[in-house]
Chain A
Amino acid sequence: MTPALSLHNLTKVYKNGITALHGIDLEVAPGDFFALLGPNGAGKSTTIGIVASLVNKTSGTVQVFGHDIDTDLAAAKACIGLVPQEFNFNIFEPVMEIVVSQAGYYGIPRRLASERAERYLNQLGLWERRHDQARMLSGGMKRRLMIARALVHEPRLLILDEPTAGVDIEIRHSMWSFLTEINAAGTTIILTTHYLEEAERLCRNIAIIDQGRIVENTSMRQLLSRMNAHTLVLDLVRPLDVVPALPGFAVSLTDDHTLEVEVSRDANINTLFAALSAQGIEVGSLRNKTNRLEELFIRLVGGKEEAA
């Protein structure tokens, strides 16, 4: 099956001499929901920019559904919808006009473009604001406007560069549902995000890029299965003065009401709670210290704290 996106030996050296990409190889299968993660400056936006023709590559090949951007650029572009990291619309234009104009650039007649714009603006909760200038929208609405604009020509591959940055939790969840529906309907999605919970929740496959090199490229399930241990945070009902001894578990006391316990992958949680009960320690609630993917991500990119 022809990949939705195929990068081979893709290199980018900027004029200032900085090498942003060191010959990366990547394939994204059609229909996938794919996460491209990496620390800031790792090369994610450069990669996306090259695929979307906003950045000139130095060498290598890029194919979108089999269309090479060197020999069949127009066909490749027609397959892609891009939601960039930064707002890139004319803030003085009305919302509807932005979406309809974008369809026009893909050769979609105005009448059909208006119908599609109505559909996507409705789905993304922007229809009531269609006559407003884009500058009047909130940050979350602007992000949704860029998604509507990217979808109006009904691309086979949707690339989202941090689409939920600065968006409140409720809107973020509604955007996740919308993107899941779009993906289920057959659109391949490539996502970069700062929120690793988002990637873990939405994406089936993942590549991690660091300093212009792909350091991991696998399925989300396989990656997460590599977790040897994770840390549970237990909120205690009564305070503790000393760290309790729990055989088989590494334990630390964050404060007198909070216990952190490292649980290995093959450990039995019941054993932990049995040990706690035996010592009369009551647990009010528990949670994971960090998102599982976040823990792995930090390990893979050499302990850098900043993600995506």
Chain B
Amino acid sequence: MNGHAQYVAFKAILVKEVLRFARIWIQTILPPMITTALYFVIFGRLIGSQVGDVHGFQYMEYIVPGLILMTVITNSYANVVSSFYSAKFQHNIEEMLVAPVPNYLILIGFIGGGLARGLAVGVAVTIVALFFTPIPLHSLWVACSVLVLTSILFSLAGFINGIYAKSFDDISVIPTFVLTPLTYLGGVFYSVAMLPPFWQSISLANPILYMVNAFRYGLLGVSDVNLAVAYAAILGFIAGLFGFALHLLNRGYGIRS
């Protein structure tokens, strides 16, 4: 395939992926908006008023970046894992496998779908947040880059989960038992500075902490971690997961006999 044909193929996969989640927007876009509104009402307004300021920001303002990023993480992951596994389950992944589209384009196409949903939900949740609190913007570049890179990272993780999944149960195990705990313990609702030293050290092993704090730096200008370390961690994970996902695709793991 020449360059233009590859571009057409990528666009076909991306359009298919975007149409998929857009067709079922009541399942994909609306629920995170409602959930986030509930977080703001319960944690921000009711409990947050008792907490006081964190790093000089009202509690509700402080948790906004974490809530947005948490939504982006879960939706990027969920989009790719469910789309890819469904394609495997219904065998319509074969539509791409029989075509001359290179494996890396299949991967990028699915990641593009995850990114599109992650960003769409991120924007929707940000609009909801603006009904509760003003959102400062310290660095547009940092905020946008962290948002996009994090979405890509978890889209890749979802893709790998989708490759390994052998049943619909398998696509919910990682989000339930790994992703959700890591996200909740990743400093979405608190600053690690509030934790005892031992738990601070433990928290630093959680990669999501770096993403949440880097995004928080983009919006609020405060972070519990070094920004360069956060970028290095995100980019490192992306490179590792991309290579691994492509290796699995090239081997045909779970999709070719």
- Residues of chain A touching chain B, judged by Cβ–Cβ distance below 8 Å, are 14, 46, 49, 52-56, 73-75, 77-78, 80, 82, 84, 86-93, 97-98, 100-110, 149, 153
Contact = CB atoms under 8 A, between A and B. Distances in A.
Given A55-B257, A77-B100, A108-B8, A102 B1 contact: no
Interface string B80-101: 0000001100111011111111
Given A89-B92, A105-B99, 16 more contacts: A14-B257, A53-B98, A54-B256, A56-B257, A77-B99, A77-B100, A84-B94, A88-B94, A88-B95, A92-B23, A101-B16, A105-B13, A106-B99, A107-B1, A107-B6, A110-B11
B5 interface: yes
Contacts of B16: 93, 97, 101
A153 to B, nearest CB: 8
Given A54-B98, A92-B23, A106-B9, A49 B257 contact: yes
Contacts of A90: 20, 86-87, 90, 92
Interface of B: 1-2, 4-6, 8-9, 11-13, 15-16, 19-20, 23, 86-87, 90-92, 94-102, 252, 256-257
Contacts of B13: 104-105
Contacts of B92: 88-90
A91 B92 CA distance: 9
A131 to B, nearest CB: 13
Contacts of B96: 105
Contacts of B95: 88-89, 98, 101-102, 105, 149
B95 to A, nearest CB: 6
A86 B11 contact: no
A97 B19 contact: yes
Contacts of A153: 99
A115 B98 CA distance: 22
B19 A80 contact: no
A105 B98 CA distance: 9
Nearest to A90: B92
A151 to B, nearest CB: 13
B24 to A, nearest CB: 8
A74 B97 contact: no
A61 to B, nearest CB: 18
Given A54-B97, A78-B100, A102-B99, A107 B9 contact: yes
Contacts of B252: 56
Contacts of B6: 107
Contacts of B101: 105-107
A56 B256 contact: yes
A259 B44 CA distance: 90
B68 to A, nearest CB: 29
Contacts of B23: 92
26 contacts: A52-B98, A53-B97, A54-B257, A56-B252, A56-B256, A74-B1, A75-B100, A80-B98, A84-B91, A84-B94, A88-B92, A90-B92, A101-B15, A101-B16, A104-B13, A105-B95, A105-B100, A106-B99, A107-B5, A107-B8, A107-B9, A108-B8, A110-B8, A110-B11, A149-B95, A153-B99
A98 B94 CA distance: 12
Nearest to B4: A107
